[in-house]
Structure 1
Amino acid sequence: MAAVRELLLETFMNLSLEEQQDFRWFLQFTLFQRNLLHISWEQPWQAGDVSQLAELMVEMCGQQSLEVTMELFMDMGRTDLVQRLSGTSSGPKAAGSSAEASAVNTTEGEEHSVDEHRPALTQKVEAMVSVIELLLETLKDLSVGMFMDVLLSQPYLHRRLLIGPVIPLHTSDIKHTVLSMVLIFGQQSVEMTTKVLKQMRRTDLVKRLSDSSLEANKTHSADERRSALIHRVATMAAVKQLLLETHKVLHDWEYKIFRRFLQLIVSRMHLPNIFGMLIDRADRADTVDLMVQTYGQLSVELTREAFMVMNRTDLVQRLSEFSSGSKGTKRNISLKNSMK
């Protein structure tokens, strides 16, 4: 793996600071799609430290580090770096890697095709994209450091961070700050931003945000890499919102039963048990956060299976649209009969 690490290190030196941070977000989405544990944001991100990025890839992806890196470079539009990595491999592995990397466009095409058959999820994603674009436009000239200081002082966010580092706390870029907020607060990000701006006494930006919110914000970024990144974060945020909406339908007593069944399903699948990591005051949003961090989009199937055991066919149906099109969910989690 030392040779792979050195090759990645050399390649990552061709990324700008912004591209390095974008790369981490694209990796996060790939882990989400593949139902793998998300990147921990606990350690500060040292801007420009490509050795840290190379270590991260080797740690998260092991022998597949080169293949996954090429996929992410394709997502970022850095085909020059894809070619560089392809050229340094040899034999069948190189051919396979090139094929896998070039197949990303096909996979993306399939995703768009699937989205056409999942109108409810597509609407949620588009709504999240609009929120992200609105916040980026409003906050583009704002001091990130001051904004983050006020944001992190919010009691609700502080409590949420107790369950784990759900966002990068050491960002100096407004784009990544906005992506982090939307991943936590979803569509409530506009409300949270308004609260922070009021505390900063930026009434001009509060008015700008309010005026823009009244209009249908359909202006999407012309930057292909930025647009792709926004769409991926919006997708993760939309899935979290979908899960949270269904969790909130349950009464408190039902939710206790739901968590018990979910724990059994997770145990029988030999997946990491998140319930020991939740603090005593953890609410449903905390639970969804930790589920998505740990299980990726498999969280939807796990939730759906628990609802099936509870005979909540209404909630099963609500999640069926997503489940029928989700990728990477290959495990058999039909446990209803065994739990009766």
Structure 2
Amino acid sequence: MPDVRNAAILGTGLIGTSIALGLSDAGWDVVGWDPDPAHAAEGRARGAFSSTAGTMAEAVGDAKLIVLAAPGSVIPTLLGALHQEELAPDAVVTDVASVKASVMDAASHLKSFIGGHPMAGREMSGPEPATGALFKGAAWVLVASDESTTPAREMVESMVEDLGAFPVYVSADEHDAAVAMISHLPHALAAALIASASETPSAIHLAAGSFRDLTRVALSEPDAWTDILRTNRTAVAHSIDDLVERLASFKELLLHDDPDVLVERLSLARETRQRLSPPVALVRVALSDRPGELGKVGSALQASQVDIRDLQLRHQEHGGGGILSLSVRIGETDVLTDALVDAGLEVLI
């Protein structure tokens, strides 16, 4: 752990302010700067920053860790404005851009730069929805150059761990190809699905859980994601080509009516998806459209003391209640079911 833990956050939107809130809670001294002074002031009012700077140079002056939390297309410009001789002698610089190859190139003049990308976020922007808990349990990608020193790595790793995340080292090219597939392509796919459904009579009104799950990321802020997709456009285009080929193959299976191969494909997808999270059991609760229903669920959870791994509420579009799905550890379904029933709720078998 570094002896001195002070950081400068350049960019006080959702990610920058969330980092600042988490580090402040962990005992870091955090200075904030943003080209929009109102953003920085809002972050300070929430306790994210011990102080805010009027200029970028003022913010980074004595900082041991400098975090570039601006949009990805802006970060190379910020890097170009950072001059090694103007930083503290042992200052370490990192960033949060979702594309890494171009950032690593732009940072080549800095002796202690570690590229970063937290694999967490929200469908909102700005400092208002920021939370210090945003990164808990998340992977935080780190990209180190051959010149990166052990103290520089330890400084950034300390930040990541204080935020409740865990560091994962990969190369810049490996990162950009991976996030194109698992993060950037889903946004393009969600936009395409929404557009297609919107042009299909009655489809949007009939949409239920699976469609909502697949298109959740379409709620993300368009300007931010335009920036991300453009920055990683070559890798995203390759991912789209790959998906188009796979969909064409799936189409041929359907047209040739080959149920054995179709079952094999779907089974493989199911098995792979199950490995993304620990084994869980599902308890589904029918909720009426009246006050107090979620309060009953809370009382049942407190009484049962089960470990909730995930939850999802599917509310009927036109009223009438909804279905709450609770994922718990295998073996905990009976005690939760009993508690829910005792609270006066209907559990769906």
TM-score by length of 1: 0.30
Larger radius of gyration: 2
TM-score by length of 2: 0.30
Q: Please identify which structure carries the higher helix content.
A: 1
